Amino acid sequence: RSKLFWFLGVENLKAFNDDRFARALDKLYLADRASLMTGIVVKMIEEVDLELSRILRRFNDGKGLWENKW
């Protein structure tokens, strides 16, 4: 929970009010959605230490992900 408030620029829960929430929504609305989603995915991969080598190998074998049996 504290990471969410840090991300929104809130130092404590009492500072999180409707004005701050509205400003955060405005920033999300104006953001480049592709860059925003890429940033979110990269951050989550780092946070959970996801191993991508198997996924990347499946995409690079020329057959495509959906034609392979996991």
CA atoms within 13 A on the CB side of 9: 9
pLDDT above 70 (res 43): yes
End-to-end CA distance of the chain: 35
Which DSSP symbol is given to 65?
G
d(CA 53, CA 51): 6
d(CA 41, CA 24): 19
pLDDT above 70: percentage of residues in the chain: 53
Q: Is this model's pTM higher than 0.75 or not?
A: no
The tokens describing 56, both together, are 């990347």
